[in-house]
Structure 1
Amino acid sequence: MAVASKEGIRTETPFRFDNVGSFLRPEKLKEARKAFAKGSISEQELKAVEDEAIKDLIQKQKDVGLKAITDGEFRRSWWHLDFMWGLQGVKKQEIDQGYQFKGEETRAETARLTGKISGEHHPFVEHFQFVQQFADEKAVARQTIPAPAQFLSELQRPENVETTKRIYPDLNELVEDIASAYRSVVKDLYTAGCRNLQLDDCTWGRLVGKNHWTSRDDDSNIEEVASLYVNVNNKVIENQPEDLIITTHVCRGNYHSKWFSSGAYDAISKHLFGKEKVKAYYLEFDTERAGGFESLVNVSDNKLVVLGLFSSKLPDLEDKAQIKERIEEASKYVPIERLCVSPQCGFASTEEGNILTEEQQWNKLRLVREVAEEVWGK
């Protein structure tokens, strides 16, 4: 495979060597969270442990060569629910059954409405400010949050739909309030210095899975739901400051090294790739469950695609030659100048983390960097 020209080296996010965001929680942090849950330590004591763990993590990210740093989602239990619980009009709710992944069921928790939704005073703004102090000329601070469509999907879970419809009988009003709440949070993040926002969005991975449709009791179809999801996401993405780079990440579930759904992007590619107004896509491509690259032909304008060719679920290192072959194959549909590489998802979308060690996690990222440098140059 030919090496891309030096002009392919990127100076803004997404970078040729990139990462989705979450990292395995160190044991000291896990123990502190358990102690806090039991009431053995205070919230301030937990925060002190989190702060120290995040400082250490950020240095490790810089050492491995990442140019976009995050807090690893160390202050969260879930990649998505903690953000939703931070919105006004939303509460944490225990339920009877979690999501059924392949071979394992998740913890049974959700986000349920208590009233109208708004986004003021969101705790993630303070979380971002902590990371922002470590940004420098070589590293930008990135904030990851669940996409608006992901929140809408959570409110429409069978366990939540009755409450949601009681508070929002009109779906359009619900969509508008979700978008308004998100815009409020994004504005506060921007004021705090955020210039790279990643919308994590598993709704698309679910839409292409058969189990999503067999579990529904309405008569909606994939085109209708895809249009709805693009609409609510774009209401937040549109009219943001030009220097705020908004990207999105799509996968098919990532819980304790298990997956939720299978299916190629084909059925939703015209909506997701053609109509959603993000500047880049972080896409799962580490297994055949995500299908081929053909649907990338629908990626519109000059958007970038970060190929998730490396598995964050498995400790085994990928074969570099095979990865390079896949990059070359993807470049038939999106020019190589608009491609980057990363793991297919984070290493710990929930605090349980995937089944690999921290050393294996960093070895995986070193390999991603090696491939990126060999393809696009240092």
Structure 2
Amino acid sequence: MTNENRDQFKPEDHPNDHFIMTSVVGSYPKPKWLNRMNDLYEQEDGPVDEEDLQEAEDDAARLITNEHERAGLDTVVDGEMRRNEMVEFFADRIEGYEFNGPVKVWGHNTFDKPSVASEVEYDESWLVDEYKFTASVTDRPVKVPITGPYTLASWSFNEAYEDEEALAYDLAELVNEEIEKLVDAGARYIQIDEPALATTPDDHQIVGDCLERIVADIPEDVRIGLHVCYGDYFRIYPDILEFPVDEFDLELANGDYEQLDVFKDPEFTKDLALGVTDVHVAEVESVEEIKENIKKGLEVVPPERLVVSPDCGVKLLPREVAYGKMENMVTAAREVEAELDAGEIDIDAPTPADD
């Protein structure tokens, strides 16, 4: 059996008959010099102007995209080199949001939590230029991560709408508009990030309704994934199978796959993008360890519906560790494919013949 929506990303010179697509969730460690350039840009009357910063961001995006290629990834991202934070970045580009100063989130980290002061409106494109640049410096398919409307609403102060749900629905219309522009620019792989769903799982119906609005009129050959960070997945499964997405990107390595069985009954009917390296551990897992993690995914879905990636964004890891995890992950995926070709792996997941 083939999976046309996923197999469009299979390289023509792929070495094996089986194909387990390798990808990343999005963020990647920024080069230290880019952080320094950002600091200098923020200084009043500093030595770095907007043109200097854009050149530095272009250089960093080119460098990290190339790093993803060298690791062997089937689909690449620029590591979100132009983004500061997953909510703040988008709120800064949406009419109706304003900023009132940073809020402490964990440890010594702060988050410039925005407020919705008036009805949200779409202004200029958020990601099209980023996508076009990344696509211009690679021959590989580019995945575009975009923060979803539920998280954009949930992680903001709401001062303009009757409730969070109404805000999320309006934001979903804006996300839909942005994705349509990305598709027109050539994007064929969009990942909606909804980490807030894992922290407030009782609102999964709102997320589903938002997704219906987001994917309206999006062509079928555009792959839509939903990334949900670690949480109590049993509280949202199997309801999420009704969401209009092609794949669910789940953070399971961090929990040592304790929740894997959640997705076995009832049958998981979507594609599974499985986290197979733990982004909370600053050590590179061996190829053999990652192969065992990949095989856990084959307990839930057959190979033609499996994608593998790190659990989440890797931006907080040392860069050499992030690269090592990706490189070993790709090697592990290719070895598992070869073993599947040779009939050396028993597949526990339901197959189409069981239907």
Q: Above 0.5 in TM-score? A: yes
2:67 corresponds to 1:99 = no
Change (3 A) 1:35 1:376: same
Change in CA separation of 1:68 and 1:202 when aligned onto 2, cut-off 3 Å: same
1:78 equivalenced with 2:85 (yes/no): yes
For residues 107 and 310 of structure 1, do their structure 2 counterparts lie closer, same or farther at Cα, with a shift above 3 Å needed?
same
| CA–CA separation in structure 2 for the residues paired with 1:305 and 1:297 | 12
| Aligned amino acid, residue 181 of structure 1 | L
What displacement does 1:47 show? 0.5
Structure 2 CA distance, aligned partners of 1:99 and 1:327?
33
- 1:134 and 2:134 aligned: no
Q: Give CA deviations for 1:117-151 in whole Å, capped at 9, x if unaligned.
A: 12231232222221121243xx1122111112111
Counting matched residue pairs gives 327
Residues 63 and 177 of structure 1: is their aligned pair in 2 closer, same or farther, counting only changes over 3 Å? same
Instruction: Please report how far the alpha carbon of residue 374 of structure 1 lies from its aligned counterpart in structure 2 after TM superposition.
Output: 0.8
- Aligned runs of 1:111-130 on 2, under 5 Å? 111-130=114-133
Higher mean C-alpha displacement, 30-39 vs 185-194: 185-194
Structure 2 counterpart of 1:168, from 147, 154, 161: 161
- Give the unaligned 5+ runs of structure 1: 209-221, 253-262, 349-353
Q: Secondary structure at the match of 1:107?
A: strand
CA distance in structure 2 between the partners assigned to 1:171 and 1:314 by the alignment:
34
2:254 matches 1:287: yes
Structure-2-length-normalised TM-score: 0.83
Counterpart in 2 of 1:205? 198
Which residue does 2:348 correspond to in 1? none
User: Cα distance 1:300–1:177, how it changes in 2: closer, same or farther (>3 A)?
Assistant: farther
Partner of 2:172: 179
Q: Which runs of 5+ in 2 are unaligned?
A: 11-18, 342-355
**Does the aligned pair in 2 maintain the 1:149–1:233 contact within 8 Å?**
no
Q: Secondary structure at the match of 2:127?
A: helix
Q: 1:284 to 1:52 in 2, by over 3 A?
A: same
State whether residues 16 and 341 of structure 1, in contact with CA within 8 Å, keep that contact through their aligned partners in structure 2: yes
- Secondary structure of the structure 1 residue equivalent to 2:237: helix
User: Does the C-alpha gap of structure 1 residues 61 and 322 become closer, same or farther in structure 2, counting only changes over 3 Å?
Assistant: closer
Counterpart residue number, 2:322: 361
1:290 is displaced (CA, Å) by 6.4
Percent identity of the aligned residues? Answer: 22
| TM-aligned CA distance change 1:173 to 1:226, over 3 Å | closer
- Cα distance change, pair 27–325 in 1 and its aligned pair in 2 (3 A): closer
**In 2, distance between residues paired with 1:81 and 1:285?**
26
State the partner residue of 1:34: 39
Check whether the contact 1:16–1:376 (CA below 8 A) recurs between aligned residues: no
1:172 and 1:200 mapped to 2: Cα distance?
17
| Cα shift at 1:73 | 0.7
Per-residue deviation at 1:298? Answer: 6.0
Note the C-alpha offset of 1:322: 3.9
Per-residue Cα deviation, 1:286-342 (whole angstroms, up to 9, x for no partner): 122763211223687752111102022323122444433343333233223312221
Partner of 1:307: 274
Q: Which residue of 1 aligns with 2:24?
A: 19
Q: State the secondary structure of the residue aligned to 1:69.
A: coil
Partner of 1:87: 94
Moved more, 337-346 or 291-300: 291-300
Match of 1:232 among 203, 210, 220: 210
SS in structure 1 opposite 2:63?
A: helix
Render the CA deviation track for 1:13-52: whole Å, top value 9, x for unaligned: 8952221121110011011000001131111110011111
Q: 1:323, 1:33 → 2: CA distance? A: 35
SS at 2:100's partner residue? strand
Contact 1:247-1:280 at 8 Å conserved across structures = yes
Alignment CA distance shift 1:132-1:281 (3 Å): same
Structure 1 position 84, deviation (Å) = 2.5
Whose relative contact order is higher, 1 or 2, with alpha carbons under 8 Å and at least 6 apart? 1
Question: What is the deviation of 1:60?
Answer: 1.7
Confirm whether residue 247 of structure 1 aligns to residue 225 of structure 2: yes
Q: Quick check: 363-372 or 127-136, which moved more?
A: 127-136
TM-score, scaled to structure 1: 0.79
Q: Hey, what's the Cα distance between the residues in 2 that align with 1:359 and 1:185?
A: 33
Tell me which residue corresponds to 1:60: 67
Aligned to 2:353: none
The CA distance in 2 between the partners of 1:75 and 1:267, in whole Å, is: 34
Corresponding residue for 1:213? none
Structure 2 counterpart SS, 1:123: coil
CA distance in 2, matches of 1:345, 1:118: 29
- Offset from partner CA, 1:268-291 (integer Å, 9 cap, x none): 12222x121111122111122763
